[in-house]
Chains A and B, each alone.
Chain A
Amino acid sequence: MRRMSFGQATVDAMRSAMREDDRVVVLGEDISWGGNFGQFRGLLDEFGPDRVIDMPISEAIIMAVTVGAAVTGLRPVASMSFVEFTLGAMDEIVNQAAKFRYMFGGQVSVPLVLRASDGVLRSSAGQHSSSLEGLFTHLPGLKVVAPSNPADARGLLRAAIADDDPVVYLENKRITAKRGPVPAGDHVVPLGSAAVRREGSDLTIVTYSVMTLHAEKACSSLAEMGIEAELIDLRSLVPLDLDTVLSSVARTGRVVVAHEAWEFGGFGAEVVSAITGQAFDRLRAAPVRVGAAQAPIPFSPPLERAVVPGSDELVAAAREVMGLT
């Protein structure tokens, strides 16, 4: 085991991938300086400017070039520092990257990774705080992962680069600097495998990314109240490991689905819908969802707290699904 931050985990995964396969290149703004969060630091020195490519501030061209390179033999990783900047490249993501393989009858695959930072960090305000995974999971042809700890960050990024389809890798800014243990060697986490973080028999909490950490805290508070929650960290949203979720819900009969993204129309609705569709007769209470209130993320700290959920909201939701409110 080694201890490293998410940023170091990214560098580590990138380095392994780039050493192993010279088709792997990385493109982004400020990339030769290590990117906005230092997550590519040192790659230029080892791999040079042909593989670590400084891009102009044009997310559309970053993504278009990435697609073009991916369908002609490279395995590019595109870096967009804040997930909102992907919105300037939506045509390239939605109409090109996601559809090429299918539209062209399977002639070509699009082995690219789009990496972006999302979520709320200390009053970054409306255009630098969003969680947009729901936009990406909605689109057939894109895979989506969102780690909650450095080991998964390393392992999922490694798997994403090795995957032959386009993968959107989303990392919450609030946890990027956090450190954690990472297994030695070339640690890989397969796409589509959820992790059970905590076992419990009273209810199941299904979440991912930063909300997993809030949920761990909530689980401790709930335990003090005599409620034992099972905590599932999805890690990968597409493909989705529904089996792990369903087998837990079959035992607990109660479920809370949570994310930092807006609740309305969010990915959590898809998870709840799958659970009610496939385990309806096992449910002992209506599932409860937790997500951000329906407003752009405000700047001022008291407003931000009012819109964005944390462990308190998770505890309240768990009590609700337990019929304790």
Chain B
Amino acid sequence: MSLTENMSPGLALGIHRTMVRIRVFESRVEELFKAGKLPGFVHTYIGQEAIAAGVCAALDRNDYITSTHRGHGHAIAKGMELGPIMAELYGKATGACRGRGGSMHVADFSVGMLGANGIVAGGLGIAAGAALSARYRGTHQVAVGFFGDGGINKGTFHEALNFAATHRLGVVFVCENNQYAQFTSRLRTTSVEDLSVRASAYGIPGITVDGNDAAATYREALEAVGRARDGGGPTLLNMETYRFGGHYVGDAEVYRASAEVEARRQADPILRWERTLTDEALMTAGLGEAVWAEAADEVSAAVRFAEESPHPDGGTALENVFTQVC
């Protein structure tokens, strides 16, 4: 069976392009942060690209996502432009949130990206609320709530699944199971080995997916999104993956062996997808290189845009606390 069977060549290549854009963006973010150009702190998405790219490829532009502290990849995959994301990371006035939010709070409501979130599992109930609203408004929009293996122990995860399941809401809960929550292995804090079984407590489908296989993330997301859109209720997808970098840029990573990281890097989701596309004659070496080169140019342009943009004026700090200054 062809791995790309359920995809058009354009879609297969589009997923590749999204993954590459995320990888190049995040690699540049890492460099910029280390060079002291970005305030605050950053969590990169490197190694998990097949999840955001595959899941968002199964969504329409007006569908919703809620994201996490590790949200740049979701923002890119959902269709945000790189310039405003980068400018936000720089704290510039042209940033997606006018410099108010920074890395952990990137958002663009015009493409259904309801926000990266600094509170673990903070987006899951909000995704359920967006799905409730979509049903009420009769729009057939679906909401995806991204979260991590650490977030799966928050009460809000359980409460959101119960509510969404009870009302058969159009939500897909996507757990990006990268094995660690900050410094702690999930095995130390979580009662079950296979996180997908938690779905059974709420009577909804729970599926474990190879999160580094773009064909699989897309296929399972497509099915879950279809079910969500057709009134079949929520799904829990446990997407197994690994973050290649530390929890944040600068993390000394004392909690995991470098041999483990090396071994996991062998399953690089982008290289793997490139092999698949090459094997199935959808991609030539030249085409692949062009995608990387284009992404590098696009990210450089985003950096230039961010660097040339002004900082927000301190005098505007009290804008937007309320709809009108009061």
Chain A interfacial positions (CB closer than 8 Å to B): 29-30, 32-33, 36, 54-58, 60-61, 84-85, 88, 122-128, 293-296, 298-303, 305-307
Contact = CB atoms under 8 A, between A and B. Distances in A.
Given A293-B317, A300-B100, A307-B317, A56 B153 contact: yes
Interface string B78-97: 00000000001001110101
Given A30-B184, A84-B119, A127-B104, A55 B39 contact: no
A147 B229 CA distance: 53
B154 interface: yes
B258 to A, nearest CB: 17
Interface string B39-70: 11100000000000000000000000000000
B311 interface: yes
B154 A300 contact: no
A303 B118 contact: no
A267 B45 CA distance: 40
Given A84-B119, A300-B100, A303-B317, 4 more contacts: A126-B118, A127-B117, A295-B317, A303-B99
B39 A122 contact: yes
Contacts of B41: 124
Interface in B290-326: 311-318, 321
B118 A125 contact: yes
A201 to B, nearest CB: 35
B100 A298 contact: yes
Contacts, number: 123
B183 interface: yes
B88 to A, nearest CB: 8
A30 B182 contact: yes
A306 B314 contact: yes
30 contacts: A33-B184, A33-B254, A57-B121, A57-B153, A57-B181, A57-B189, A60-B155, A84-B119, A123-B40, A125-B101, A126-B100, A127-B104, A127-B119, A293-B317, A293-B318, A294-B321, A295-B318, A298-B317, A299-B40, A299-B100, A299-B105, A300-B91, A300-B95, A301-B39, A301-B91, A302-B312, A303-B99, A303-B312, A303-B314, A306-B317
A127 B104 CA distance: 9
B101 A126 contact: yes
A199 B93 CA distance: 44
Nearest to A31: B184
Nearest to B40: A123
Contacts of A307: 317-318
Contacts of B118: 84, 125-128
A261 B254 CA distance: 34
Contacts of A126: 100-101, 105, 118
B318 A54 contact: no
B109 interface: no
Contacts of B315: 306
B184 A29 contact: yes
Nearest to B158: A58
A56 B150 CA distance: 7
B151 interface: yes
B120 interface: yes
A299 B102 CA distance: 6
Contacts of A84: 118-119
B105 A125 contact: yes
Contacts of B137: none
B92 A294 contact: no
Contacts of B39: 122-123, 299-301
Given A123-B39, A305-B314, A58 B102 contact: no
Contacts of A128: 104, 118
A302 B181 contact: no
Contacts of B181: 29-30, 57
Contact of B91 (A60, A124, A294, A299): A299
Contact of B154 (A88, A125, A299): A88
A122 B316 CA distance: 19
A296 B93 CA distance: 17
The 6 nearest A-B residue pairs measured at CB: A299-B102, A300-B91, A306-B314, A127-B118, A300-B99, A56-B153
